[in-house]
Amino acid sequence: MKTFTAIVERDLDTNLYVGYIPGCQGAHSQGETLDELKENLREVIEMLLEDEKFNL
């Protein structure tokens, strides 16, 4: 299993957590909680890894 590091910030206007994986184009998401954001980012990474054109 590969490990990814996410940059996470809190958007004060929407009160959402937003995050992205540096160096991984298209790997970004948001969530109302940190757990939701983590799960959303995990799903995004899974989808990107299934894409044959995606290259880490």
Query: What do you get for the CA distance between the two ends of the chain, in Å?
Result: 14
The DSSP bridge pattern shows strands 7-11 and 28-31 to be unpaired
User: Under a CB-based contact definition with an 8 Å cutoff, are residues 24 and 36 in contact?
Assistant: no
Q: Please tell me whether residue 33 adopts helix, strand or coil conformation.
A: coil
Please tell me the predicted confidence (pLDDT) of residue 56. Answer: 63
Q: State pLDDT tens for residues 1-56.
A: 789 999 999 999 999 999 999 999 999 999 999 999 999 999 999 999 888 776 66
pTM of the complete model? 0.86
What is the per-residue pLDDT for 13? 98
d(CA 18, CA 8): 6
Q: Give the type of residue at 33.
A: T
- Other Cβ atoms less than 10 A from the Cβ of 10: the count is 10
